[in-house]
Amino acid sequence: MTAVQPLAGALVDRYGRIARDLRVSLTDKCNLRCTYCMPAEGLPWLAGPDLLTDAEVGRLLRVAVERLGVTEVRFTGGEPLIRRGLVDIVGAASALRPRPRLSLTTNGIGLDRLAPALRAAGLDRVNVSLDTLDADRFHRLTRRDRLGAVLAGLAGAAAAGLTPVKVNSVLMRGVNEDEAPALLRFALAHGYELRFIEQMPLDAQHGWDRSAMVTAEEILAALGTAFDLRPDPAERGAAPAETWLVDGGPARVGVIGTVTRPFCGDCDRTRLTADGQVRACLFATEETDLRGALRSGADDAELARRWQAAMWGKRAGHGIDDPTFLQPARPMSAIGG
Ligand code: SAM
């Protein structure tokens, strides 16, 4: 490591990447139990006093936007729709200047009811996770019989103007790998933008197996049997998804190949967990405690300095392919997906 210090006013790392996209987890709890994410009985949840309060989340968002150049805020979890103060937190974020773009990653349950209030509070758009269109499969995969609620949530988001509505799907071998074309047909029919995400080693059970995961290449091959896909000429920038035009466009489909096509060199993300820890990467094994600093009286300048120091140490890559790779101690649901 060099002795150079981070630039004032931005979340820069020593490889020159600048983080402008903040993922904020608002809770580690979820109302689904997706088999590839957490066990049937759930996890030891964070204790209430350990969670950032709505005001604390608001303060850290202000520091991120006003002092550190964050321009995109994505709320996630766990399931962010079950955070009681969500609408107020979104409202506080949308009052910041310069106003960040605001989005939410959700399983969609209850979104039909909440979408109008979220839109009114300033939410710009949503990503809804949906891995199957078959009700029985959905029940087995999520251990809850809620496909209808998710589909209603998607429709409610579109009706409320939370657009583009994006759909995130994870394909798993022997579970739903045959559904790639059907999911794309569904997304096209409803005007949703579909993104497939490669399964990552972030499950609480540590059951991920590189040799069993469905790769980006396999996903594209499956889609290619039913659709004409051409690389999207639009600039990718720091977007995690590579996109393709479907049947000549303008509709597109994306693949997030975190494992087999890593995009760490362009990563512009910083993460805040529901208990106030900054993470430089989903796969980081270190965290920087902002909650403790905040609760012991640190001013905004000090919080910004700590956040910058955390990002300065961001590794060049996630290292999944490195033989020394260690899965982070916290699962995806606790980090914020
Ligand atoms: N509850 C919200 C939802 O369902 O979108 C937000 C949190 S969830 C952890 C975010 C996304 O992570 C979902 O799309 C989910 O499918 C995905 N996910 C969870 N575990 C994963 C894993 N091991 N690999 C890839 N994606 C995963």
Q: How many angstroms is it from 33 CA to the middle of ligand 1?
A: 11
Nearest ligand 1 atom to alpha carbon 131:
16
Tokens 């759909």 map to which residue?
A: 167
Token pair of 261 as six digits: 């096509």
pLDDT tens over the chain, length 337 residues? 444 555 568 999 999 999 999 999 999 999 999 999 999 999 999 999 999 999 999 999 999 999 999 999 999 999 999 999 999 999 999 999 999 999 999 999 999 999 999 999 999 999 999 999 999 999 999 999 999 999 999 999 999 999 999 999 999 999 999 999 999 999 999 999 999 999 999 999 999 998 889 999 999 999 999 999 999 999 988 999 999 999 999 999 999 999 999 999 999 999 999 999 999 999 999 999 999 999 999 999 999 999 999 999 999 999 998 888 989 989 999 999 8
pTM over the 0.85 mark: yes
Query: What dihedral angle (degrees, nearest 10) is formed by the CA atoms of 297, 312, 78, 25?
Result: 40
> What are the b/e assignments for 302-335, b being 16+ CB within 10 Å?
ebbbbbbebbbebbebbbbeeeeeeebebbbbbb
Q: How far is the CA of 1 from the centre of ligand 1 (A)?
A: 33
Distance 209 CA to ligand 1 centre (A): 17
- SS3 of the chain: the string is CCCCCCCCCCEECCCCCEECEEEEECCCCCCCCCCCCCCCCCCCCCCHHHCCCHHHHHHHHHHHHHHHCCCEEEEECCCHHHCCCHHHHHHHHHCCCCCCEEEEEECCCCHHHHHHHHHHHCCCEEEEECCCCCHHHHHHHHCCCCHHHHHHHHHHHHHCCCCCCEEEEECECCCCHHHHHHHHHHHHHHCCEEEEECCCCCCCCCCCCHHHECCHHHHHHHHHCCCCEEECCCCCCCCCCEEEEECCCCCEEEEECCCCCCCHHHCCEEEECCCCEEECCCCCCCCEEHHHHHHCCCCHHHHHHHHHHHHHCCCCCCCCCCCCCCCCCCCHHHHCC
Identify which of 38, 79, 168 to mutate to test ligand 1's pocket (most ligand atoms within 8 A of the CB): 168
337 Cα to the center of ligand 1, angstroms: 5
Q: Is the CB of 202 under 6 A from ligand 1?
A: yes
* Ligand 1 geometric centre to CA of 76 (Å): 9
Instruction: Determine the distance separating the centroid of ligand 1 and the alpha carbon of 296, expressed in angstroms.
Output: 33
Counting atoms of ligand 1 from 1, which one is nearest the CA of 79? 1
Q: Is the CB of 170 inside a 6 Å radius of any atom of ligand 1?
A: yes
> What would the pLDDT profile of 314-337 be if each residue is shown by its tens digit?
999 999 988 889 899 899 999 998
Q: Which atom of ligand 1 is nearest to the CA of 200?
A: 24
